[in-house]
Amino acid sequence: MTTEMSQKPHDRLAAALSDEMAAVSALIRERMSSEHAPRIPEVTAHLVEAGGKRLRPMLTLAAAALCGYDGPYHIHLATTVEFIHTATLLHDDVVDESNQRRGRPTANLLWDNQSSVLVGDYLFARSFQLMTEPGSMRVMQILSNAAATIAEGEVLQLTAAQNLATDESVYLQVVRGKTAALFSAATEVGGVIADAPQEIVTALFDYGDALGISFQIVDDLLDYQGQEDATGKNIGDDFRERKLTLPVIKAVALADDEERAFWTRTIERGKQEDGDLEHAIALLNKHGTLTATQADALAWAQKAKSALAPLPAHDIKDMLIDLADYVVSRIS
């Protein structure tokens, strides 16, 4: 295995697209500023410098490169995607009353909820300004539809998360909203801006959709069986926050009366005691739902890879395939 192959696939993508990623960084800095309100660049700089992987804009650049795009607008679209993502992070931290993100204090803690809500609104508005610049109606429709789907998924999660009637199809809707909608829009607009044939655009959409779903299922699984790490996320956060995720949904479907009463008390009514998390994990193991959830994540990653079949051979295609494997490598 060469040194290059041993690198993580998103690092290889970042290296292959380094000029474009630098242009995206420059455009982010330019457009996140505000002539009139100095609080805005303070808050956005805090987030931007927190050093996320910029996976979503990279997907747009990768899709555009795969389709041979040679214009300037993939940079605008990648920046749009990152602004939508950053705006939703700001609002999510208010909604979840979070104190930490990527191992650093959140903006709502460092400033206040007001700043997080309003600076998030500013970034949404900036993203809409940016998405108009390529002058493509189809691109604008894809990205504004994604923004609506994201908000809809988040609202659905508010009401579905603590409701034991939530089944796998509702879970999938929430996951498509909160995660996959932006992944699939990111890859789709990369193809659309390059004027790729519909078959290719559909393949890129399907890849982003399946990758995003797999990504979120892995996240939900790690919440029950991961290692505590630098991300500041602790085992059992979702259980303590009474979020009904796939391992629990599968366990509720297989629960006997006593188990159902346990889930009703801990998730629906939120009355949790010492030892409940351990008992919950024991129930997930008893019904094999952690293994079943892992199988689902792997199946979605496989779907992502298969979706790329219509695309021509290309270094970046190989990296996207490896990326799908990498996403699930944390759980397999």
Question: Using CB under 8 A as the criterion, which residues of the chain lie in contact with its own copies when the complex forms?
Answer: 34, 36-40, 88, 91, 94-95, 113-115, 117-122, 124-126, 128-129, 132, 135, 137, 140-141, 144-145, 147-148, 150-156, 158-159, 173, 177
Using only C-alpha atoms, the chain has a radius of gyration, in whole angstroms, of: 20
**Alpha carbon distance 171, 27 (integer Å):** 35
- Nearest distance in Å: CB 213, its own copies: 16
- Nearest distance in Å: CB 84, its own copies: 9
Nearer Cβ to its own copies (93/223): 93
- Nearest distance in Å: CB 99, its own copies: 16
Nearer Cβ to its own copies (40/221): 40
Nearer Cβ to its own copies (181/324): 181
Instruction: Measure CA 198 to chain center.
Output: 25
- 258-267 long-range CB contacts below 8 Å, 24 or more apart? 259/283, 260/164, 263/164, 264/164, 266/239, 266/242, 267/162, 267/164, 267/239, 267/242
**CB contact set of 113 (below 8 Å; sequence gap of 6+):** 94
> Among residues 70, 107, 73, which one has the least CA distance to residue 90?
107
Nearer Cβ to its own copies (134/208): 134
User: Is residue 58 helix, strand or coil?
Assistant: helix
Nearer Cβ to its own copies (15/125): 125
HEC states along 95-130?
HCCCCEECCEECHHHHCCHHHHHHHHHHHHHHHHHH
Q: Give backbone dihedrals phi and psi of 100, rounded to 5 degrees, phi first.
A: -135, 140
- Nearest distance in Å: CB 165, its own copies: 13
- Nearest distance in Å: CB 138, its own copies: 10
Nearer Cβ to its own copies (141/231): 141
Q: SS3 breakdown of the chain: % helix, strand, coil, rounded to 5?
A: 75, 0, 25
Reading the block at residue 20, the tokens are 């474009």
Nearer Cβ to its own copies (41/105): 41
- Nearest distance in Å: CB 240, its own copies: 17
Interior CA angle at 148 toward 147 and 154, to 5°?
90
Nearer Cβ to its own copies (120/208): 120
- Nearest distance in Å: CB 130, its own copies: 9
**Alpha carbon distance 130, 75 (integer Å):** 10
Nearer Cβ to its own copies (15/37): 37
Q: Please report where in the chains the tokens 């479907």 appear, as a residue.
A: 253
- Nearest distance in Å: CB 212, its own copies: 17
- Nearest distance in Å: CB 95, its own copies: 4
Burial of 44 (0-12, 13-18, 19+ CB in 10 A): buried
> Among residues 259, 215, 220, which one has the least CA distance to residue 239?
220
